[in-house]
Each structure stands twice: as structure tokens, then as C-alpha cells.
Amino acid sequence: MSHADRILMGPGPGNPYPEVIEAFGRPVLGHLDPDFIALLDETNDRLRQVFRTDNPLTFPVSATGSAGMEATFVNVLGPGDTVVVGVNGAFGERMCDVAARCGAEVVRVEAPWGAAINPQALLEAHPNPKVIAIVHAETSTGVRNDIEPLGVDKGDALLLVDCVTSLGGIPLEIDGWGVDLAYSGTQKCLGVPPGLSPVTVSQAAIDRFVDRSQSWYLDFAMIANYVTGGGARAYHHTAPISMIYGLHAGLGVLLEEGLENSQARHQACGDQLQDGLVKRGFELFAQEGHRLPELTSVVVPEDRLPDGLDEAGVRRRLLDEFGIEIGGGLGPVAGQVWRIGCMGHTARPRNVTMLLGALDEILG
Ligand SMILES: *Cc1c(COP(=O)(O)O)cnc(C)c1O
């Protein structure tokens, strides 16, 4: 089956919108060309609309979502600073690793994989942290962590949120919830291939930047002039022109559909998939009430695997015979769960119908 026919229902990337692929073919401009600067400004305006923020410092970091994580941490955390991190999956773990490499003291607040973090536990974990960090949509487990209560009671702490799999897919209010630093990725619910990490930073966070970020490339203070500097832009690094065309186009599709309509489409597909799986006797993995529509985690039905086929074999048959990709489990749940994405352009009822039919065919 041709690669063009693939339905990407893994934990990401989802399928890109056709308009995005078209945008990659546009002539490349120089990164200081006034026409490109105008397009970058418009991209950042679109990002502000999608993040639901007025933060002037809102732009795509020139690398994938993990670079947004690293950038947000390294600009506000250095040796001697304390960060409280919610850990209920692989990406909360990654935050701890990044924070420790900044030299920060890391206070972990854990919940089992598949469960949500208790916001109160996060707020009470340390009397005076510089940063409270949490993943909004834990792609490794399919769990949504609550953000809003953290903004209400964060006190002097900066609230740092991983929005890689939530932006565009589920409700998110950067300003309304008091989020100070957030990063996302292009390849999850935004319908753009991987390659950029949209970030947004509040004035309160800018006021508390470390003096000299340990990363040269990701130093927001140095990048700020190029991404938000008004008329005269200073070179920091060459903007990835074609990726920004793609993001600009993807955000255009999203805003034309309407942010709420896009979220409703993700929710409808997640509901259709999760209802379909439950009807077939499958057990959903994520805690009820905290299930993400854009990433469904389901316990591998060991007793229903065909003779001679393990869970990876089922996923391989989905790919080879139906052109559908789904994801396996990570870390402690490797081999025990499947992770099924309905993200961006992939979040369509017909894709869900096709996957459920294919599972019926393979599992009988
Ligand atoms: C995918 C993902 C990341 C990492 O993004 P990359 O683009 O793979 O670097 C970080 N956090 C979450 C929650 C993710 O789903």
C-alpha cells in the first residue's frame, strides 16, 4: 500500500492537512525578506488565537516539541531553583530529566500511569517553587491532567504546561488559566508534520528569566528580537522557512474550521472510537473522566489475539493490510496497551470506522 494512503492513528504524527503539504512547495524566501517576516508575524498571531493568549512572546521554536520543553525549562530554571513536576507518564519523566540537566532541584509528584495528577498534591508539594510543571495531555497514557486549579492557586510560582497533544484538540486557555509558559508541537492536533514547537511566554515569566540561559540556541532573550521585534529584525538563527509556511497553512485550516469546531471534531472521533472499543469488550486504560479524545489508550486484549500473533503482530497487520498505523505502549506499559490517535486531519469518523472494522477482521 502506498505511503500516501497511510492513516496515521499512532501517538503522532497525525495526518497533515492537504493545504499544509501544498504550502511546503512554495518558493523559499530569505528569513529577513519583508514578505517572510509578515508571514511569520501572521503565524504568531494565529498561534496566539489558538493558544488563547495575548502574550507578545509567542512563536514556533525551530525544532520538535521536545525542544519547546527544553526551551521553556532552560530559560526559567538554573542551579538552585526549585521545580515541582507532575509525573504520570513518559513526558512528565522527560520534564524531570530536562529540569535536572538545568541544575534545578526537582520535586516529583507522581500518579500511576493511566491516572491523573491530583492538582492539590502538586500545589502542596513545596512551599515556594519557582516553577510548577505539568503535562496537559499525557500522550503515553491518554490521560488529561487538570490545569485550571493550578493557575488559581499557583501563588508566586510560574506555571509551565506541556500542550503538545492538547493544542487544537481539547479546550486550552493560556491566559484564562494563568499559564506562564507553554509549548506544543506541530504534528499532533495541528495537522502539520513534525518540525516546530510553538511556544508562548507570559510577561511574568520573562521577568524571571535566568540571567544567561544554559542553551545558546534556545535562549528566548536572544530570539525575541527576531520573532517579535517590530520593523528591524536581528538574525539569531535561520528560520526554517518551509516549516513555517506549513504551520501558517495548518493554523489557517484550523481557524477557518474554528477552534471550537476542531475540538468538537476531535471529541466526536474520540467518543466514537472509545464507545466502539468498549462495545467490543475492550478495556480502556486511562482513568474515566480524564480520557483524551485525541489519544485513546486501550488494554491489549491478550485472550483475543489470533494464534501466533502478538500485539506487535496485530499492529503490523493493521499497517500492512489496511495502511493504518496505531501505537504500542511505552515504559511500564510496553506490550500491554495500544495507543490510538485521532489527531488533526486524521480525526475523521471514517478513519475510526475503518480502524474498528480492521480490528474486527484481524481479531475476529
Ligand atoms: C510528542 C510529545 C512530546 C515530544 O514532542 P517531539 O515532537 O516528539 O519532540 C512532548 N510532550 C508530549 C505530551 C508529546 O505528546
Q: For residue 227, how far is its CA from the centre of ligand 1 (angstroms)?
A: 23
Residues in Cβ contact with 357 at an 8 Å cutoff, skipping those fewer than 6 apart: none
The residue contributing the CA closest to ligand 1 atom 14 is 164
Q: Check residue 206 and give its pLDDT.
A: 97
Q: For residue 137, how far is its CA from the centre of ligand 1 (angstroms)?
A: 10
Confidence band of 231 (pLDDT split at 50, 70, 90):
low
Q: Check residue 246 and give its pLDDT.
A: 98
Strand partners, 106: 83
- Is the Cβ atom of 165 under 6 angstroms away from ligand 1? yes
| 126, 129, 131, 135: CA torsion to nearest 10 | 0
| Residue 299, CA distances (Å) to 93, 278, 311 in order | 22, 11, 10
Q: For residue 303, how far is its CA from the centre of ligand 1 (angstroms)?
A: 32
Which residue type does 185 have? G
- Is the Cβ atom of 66 under 6 angstroms away from ligand 1? yes
Whether residue 13 has a cis bond before it, omega within 30° of 0:
yes
Q: Check residue 258 and give its pLDDT.
A: 98
| Residue 125, CA distances (Å) to 83, 121, 152, 177 in order | 10, 6, 16, 20
Query: Per-residue pLDDT averaged across 91-102, rounded?
Result: 98
- Is the Cβ atom of 166 under 6 angstroms away from ligand 1? no
Query: Per-residue pLDDT averaged across 280-289, rounded?
Result: 97
Report which of 103, 107, 30, 94 is spatially closest to residue 67, judged by C-alpha positions.
94
Domain extents for the chain? Answer: 3-14+258-363, 18-257
- Is the Cβ atom of 65 under 6 angstroms away from ligand 1? yes
- Is the Cβ atom of 162 under 6 angstroms away from ligand 1? yes
- Is the Cβ atom of 12 under 6 angstroms away from ligand 1? yes
- In contact, 205 and 221? CB cutoff 8 Å: no
H or E stretch covering 139: none
- Is the Cβ atom of 185 under 6 angstroms away from ligand 1? yes
Q: Which of 64, 136, 184, 295 to mutate to test the pocket of ligand 1 (most atoms within 8 A of CB)?
A: 64
Q: Is the pLDDT of residue 149 over 70?
A: yes
Report which of 335, 330, 324 is spatially closest to residue 361, judged by C-alpha positions.
324
The residue contributing the CA closest to ligand 1 atom 2 is 164
Which CATH architecture best describes the domain 18-257?
Answer: 3-Layer(aba) Sandwich (3.40)
CA distance 143 to 145: 6
CA distance 292 to 286: 8
Residue range 25-64, pLDDT digits in tens: 999 999 999 999 999 999 999 999 999 999 999 999 999 9
CA 118 to chain centre: 21
- Is the Cβ atom of 68 under 6 angstroms away from ligand 1? no
CATH topology of domain 3-14+258-363: Aspartate Aminotransferase, domain 1 (3.90.1150)
- Is the Cβ atom of 164 under 6 angstroms away from ligand 1? yes
- Is the Cβ atom of 139 under 6 angstroms away from ligand 1? yes
Report which of 316, 352, 318, 337 is spatially closest to residue 142, judged by C-alpha positions.
337
| Residue 95, CA distances (Å) to 87, 104, 132, 241 in order | 8, 11, 11, 29
Q: What's 304's DSSP letter?
A: G
Residues in Cβ contact with 43 at an 8 Å cutoff, skipping those fewer than 6 apart: 59, 60, 244, 247, 248, 251
Please count the residues of the chain: 364
Query: Per-residue pLDDT averaged across 193-216, rounded?
Result: 97
Which residue type does 260 have? E
Confidence band of 1 (pLDDT split at 50, 70, 90):
confident
